[in-house]
Structure 1
Amino acid sequence: MSYTVAEFITLRLKQLGCYHVFGVPGTSCSDFIDSLVADPDMQFVNTVNELEAGYAADGYGRQGAIGAVSVAYGVGTLSMANGIASALTERVPLAVINGGPTDKDLRLEAEYDVLFSHSTGFGKTDLKVFRKLTLGAAEIRTLEGAADRIDRLLIMAMERSGPVYIEIPQDLWKQPIGHFSPNLAYSPKRFKRGARAFTNAVADKLAQASNPVVLLGAELVRFGLVDEALHFVEAQNLPFYTTLLSKSLISESHPLFCGVYDSDLAPSTVTQGVESSDCVIALGCLFGIDHRYMVTKLGDKLLRVAFNKAMIGTEVLPKLSLGASLESLNQLPELSRTDRQIPTVAGQTYQDRRAQWQSKLGDNPYSGTLGHDGIFAAIGDFLMDQNDPYYISLDTCLASFPGADIPVLDTQCFLANPIWLSIGQGTPAAIGAYYATGKRPLIVTGDGGFQMVSQAFSSFVQNQIPGIIVIIDNGSYAIEQFLIDGTFFTEPDKAPLDYVMLNGWKYENMPHVYNGGIGLRVTSYEDLLGALRHAHARPDQPCVIAAQIPMKDLPAENRAFLGI
């Protein structure tokens, strides 16, 4: 059977488990989109804008298959660059499929100085930009060898877990691709050079350690290694924590689960368990600025392997893959003590996990005027009552800190952006996660982040995605206020910075604008719990809930940090 270039890329995406491509239609990619529409297994998901498309593909790719996005050349691709940078930083397999200028376009521009559509005039702008934002980028200007070049890029995205960029001149989409292998056969490379050194170091540390722990990271999900990691944890009877990026990779009901280390502002049971350990084994973890204190404090007590790099403290070992390291670690005899008490949080409610913060929140922190902790207490209580799993998407905002303590009993149903830290990512990324998992999204976002991507609510309505979006409505970029000048929260009469203030929106009226959905506003724990239950009972449409809180409210750990 003969395949066009467009049909070939469509086939390869399916073979990699991708059945949804996100984007905004443009003439440069219209022939590719036509091939998606013609394929009964595929769906092209229209988004309102290109940044939303990039974030949605990012959210899709975090679930085990490759994500894919296709938008217009130049004006579209450059608009979604931030979403692709998110995938690069947090190591998400993703393919940017772009239609580029033809040879004729480039020739006429060079000879007559007349720009083709969406050209900057400075030569192959998209290709140059995306070479900096992907693991690999190429334009396919000739049909000879095109299939092999496309395959190499797609395999790179899967083997190295990150985005790639494929540009096809728009007059080649319908041309025959020529000969290609019927299947995209590959097996992830396993680098083993550092396995002995790393395993010996782990064995030595475990034999001497009195309180060893394990940190489990997102690479375990990216490469399907969760079971191997769990085998190691259980065989050695080791308490384990996750990072926020990998929250829920194993059910938090597991008796060895001890919490989420999101930063040094985590509850003391978590920070002490990790930061005071004499042996921390980090498997597949990406570390960002919120982990800097922990990583530097532990020094050579931290042994880690992630994305083909193994380290003991600052010493870099020979190249080692996570899969190869787990294979070696799982051959170790039992080295860890079995009589030690495990500080598990399994079975604990949100309120239980945060009991240490009670003094920072007053006598009855989860009743009366709503605050950050009241929002998550209501969400935690709501989730504990549900039999149907929700997919939790936590946007970057002050809520990132308390959001780490939501009890999640299902597996691989949580999304955050804690390394790239782009506010606004959570809402559109949940669209991609919904198509990949089928689980109903529950999104928690700050009002500043949501205003950046609010049009995504239209995509929820248009595509009948029954998401529940809880907007923390305090009228400001509160996380920026906290980071720039925290004295606003400590001094009752101090005004906020002018440049962090937002125009107040009536979010509950959005369904009238976007022609569908439910809109609610709440001001107390009881109101929010009722609103969540009301939205849950309407699985046929999305719901936006404006959770109004005082501008000076802070999560408990942030209050403790400021000494209030």
Structure 2
Amino acid sequence: MNTTYTIGRYLIDRLGELGIRHIFGVPGDYNLSFLDTIIEHPALDWVGNCNELNAAYAADGYARIHGIAALVTTFGVGELSAVNGIAGSRAEQVPVVKITGSPATKIADEGRLVHHTLGDGAFDHFSKMYKEVTAAQTTLTAENATEEIDRVLRTCWYEKAPVYINLPVDIHALPAKQPKEPLLQEEQAASIDTISLMLGTLIPVIEKAKSPVILADYQVSRFHAEEALMNLAEATGFPVATLSMGKGIFNEEHPQFIGVYSGKTSPDYLRNRIDNADCILSVGVKLTDSITSGFSQEFMDSAVIQISPEEVNYQGIKFSKISLEESLNQLAGTVKKRDAQSLNIIPVTEQQKEEPFYVKEDQALTQKRFWEMVRLFIQKDDVVVADQGTSFFGAQTVPLKENVTFVGQPLWGSIGYTLPATLGTQLANPSRRNILLIGDGAFQLTFQEVSTMLREDLHPIIFVINNDGYTVERSIHGPEAKYNDIKMWRYANIPAILGGNKNFKSYKTTTEGELADALKDMAKSPDVLRFVEVVTQKMDMPKVLTVLGKIFAAQND
């Protein structure tokens, strides 16, 4: 073992300092010797993936639970395979460190026509591509390595965005000095004057409002402000709604939680409560088409106080350099509390009173009944991962129990993302039960990573909704078109085909009775991967997707 402290070891130590314990990726000749350094590290585990795209998805899932993640690929062919996953992390503000092992510095400087290049002597094509989907980029040299590593890693952590590190094969083994200072410094608090001005401007507006509401979204979780959001809610007494991209960031069993808002597809009470609010504390929100049912929200912009990670904005008046957490805590300590009755709060637990569920043994499974059964199956502290499609739009309507983390990708919307992402979420916290909900079309894109789950002895619960093709696309255009068809697989056999032996249990369910039996049996085997094929009709879909299909079709005209 090399006892010299190296640039590669410095990089890995800094990743470990950020709490990363697993590094995803695929080997290639330009990263192999660096992978040796990862394998030798006492605090990190290498998790090899079936392909680089899956590695990027897995890192994204890991970061959503753990806070940050990293993956390693080879130059050109490997990094371009991963770029879609990194773009998704950029779109949805997920901090992922993308490391590319590249040809030796001398080879690049001389423009040699080596493999994994375009054969034109240029070695910066792919780093230019990554510039478009990452917040910071660097190519490490002997002179700049430690400073550049620290710079891009700080950007990744503070901006909650992916970064790109190009690590030439001849650089990582060069000597480096061990870090003497911690990577992360204490963030500077906003100035007293800025806070005073913000409160002086906003408090009269909030106090004057007759129907205030808190509308929160995914940036709350990215910037770790869930506790501050809860403090604000309980200090003010205001009703709280989320958007589906931020589902689960607020306890959905809380008496102030009124639902997941989605514009015109929202339940009547929720839609009226949000759209007619005269003051909306909009916390970490980005209004995108898929979470607002095609921008169908009807609340007035003039009623919105936008509380973002780095500023607060009310009618064009901006208060900058205030963190999301500090903004929420300052408001929580100042706004007067109101009671639920005066605010007309009807919690979602009362809007959707849980009726007794009776299994109809021989009844063919439908989307409606499946989601009712899923609602009963989800437990406190679970991680629920729902792929974009029938899975996401069905799951967004399911009330979650306390401390359930919900993972979806409604902005980037890359189908198949969630299966490798579940590998990441499960590795990030093996003690939590992970439930994956994915359609058959999405499953066929990334199913290989089930083999990695089996190899790593992970125990997620995977529901593959087999509705015979691309149902989301059918709902938008071409319900009988050939391009929305896929080959029917024997889905329940996949774990065995991919090498499973005694470390999985598999089920095929076509009726309510078969699914109920499977759910009961799974509880007896918590220490194995559980795989459930759920068969429904081709055009059976959640009610909200029926409406959204028409909206998206009109949007595309």
Of 484, 502, 506, which aligns to 2:486? Answer: 502
Bigger Cα displacement from structure 2, 18-27 vs 255-264: 255-264
How far did residue 436 of structure 1 move? 1.2
Q: Distance in 2 between matches of 1:54 and 1:501?
A: 27
The one-character-per-residue Cα deviations of 1:315-364 (angstroms, maximum 9, x if unpaired) are 766554313322431331406455323211248878569x9xxxxxxx99
How far did residue 196 of structure 1 move? 5.2
Q: Which residue of 2 aligns with 1:545?
A: 532
Question: Which letter does structure 1 place at the counterpart of 2:438?
Answer: T
Contact 2:275 2:298 in 1 (8 A): no
Of 69, 72, 75, which aligns to 2:77? Answer: 75
How far did residue 23 of structure 1 move? 0.8
Of 357, 367, 378, which aligns to 1:372? Answer: 367
Question: Which letter does structure 2 place at the counterpart of 1:405?
Answer: T
Q: Sequence identity, in percent?
A: 25
Question: Which letter does structure 2 place at the counterpart of 1:414?
Answer: F
Bigger Cα displacement from structure 2, 115-124 vs 417-426: 115-124
Contact 2:111 2:123 in 1 (8 A): no
Question: Which letter does structure 2 place at the counterpart of 1:466?
Answer: H
Q: Distance in 2 between matches of 1:74 and 1:480?
A: 32
Contact 2:359 2:512 in 1 (8 A): no
How far did residue 72 of structure 1 move? 1.6
What does residue range 267-346 of structure 1 map to in structure 2 within 5 Å? 267-289=267-289, 290-291=291-292, 293=295, 297-312=299-314, 318=320, 320-334=322-336, 336=338, 338-340=340-342, 341-346=344-349
What does residue range 17-416 of structure 1 map to in structure 2 within 5 Å? 17-109=19-111, 114-119=113-118, 121=120, 122-141=122-141, 143-178=142-177, 180-189=179-188, 195=195, 198-200=198-200, 202-289=202-289, 290-291=291-292, 293=295, 297-312=299-314, 318=320, 320-334=322-336, 336=338, 338-340=340-342, 341-346=344-349, 368-384=363-379, 389-411=381-403, 413-416=405-408
Q: Distance in 1 between matches of 2:413 and 2:189?
A: 30
How far did residue 408 of structure 1 move? 2.1
Question: Which letter does structure 1 place at the counterpart of 2:494?
Answer: M
TM-score, normalized by length of structure 1?
Answer: 0.88
Bigger Cα displacement from structure 2, 336-345 vs 541-550: 336-345
The one-character-per-residue Cα deviations of 1:526-559 (angstroms, maximum 9, x if unpaired) are 3223223323322232222111111121212344
- In structure 2, relative to structure 1, the CA distance for the partners of 1:138 and 1:458 (3 Å cut) is same
Contact 1:159 1:188 in 2 (8 A): no
Bigger Cα displacement from structure 2, 213-222 vs 371-380: 213-222
1:293 match: secondary structure: coil
- In structure 2, relative to structure 1, the CA distance for the partners of 1:120 and 1:284 (3 Å cut) is farther
Q: Distance in 2 between matches of 1:345 and 1:187?
A: 39
TM-score, normalized by length of structure 2?
Answer: 0.89
- In structure 2, relative to structure 1, the CA distance for the partners of 1:471 and 1:137 (3 Å cut) is same
Q: Which residue of 1 aligns with 2:553?
A: none
- In structure 2, relative to structure 1, the CA distance for the partners of 1:348 and 1:532 (3 Å cut) is farther
How far did residue 79 of structure 1 move? 0.5
2:412 match: secondary structure: coil
How far did residue 91 of structure 1 move? 0.7
Report how many residues are paired: 539
Q: Distance in 2 between matches of 1:190 and 1:64?
A: 25
- Structure 1 unaligned segments of length 5 or more: list them: 356-362, 489-495
Q: Distance in 2 between matches of 1:307 and 1:183?
A: 23
Contact 1:148 1:180 in 2 (8 A): no
- In structure 2, relative to structure 1, the CA distance for the partners of 1:208 and 1:83 (3 Å cut) is same
Q: Which residue of 2 aligns with 1:360?
A: none
2:89 match: secondary structure: helix
1:445 pairs with 2:438? yes
The one-character-per-residue Cα deviations of 1:284-324 (angstroms, maximum 9, x if unpaired) are 22332133635564321122122324333677665543133
Q: Distance in 2 between matches of 1:53 and 1:552?
A: 32
Of 500, 510, 514, which aligns to 2:498? Answer: 514
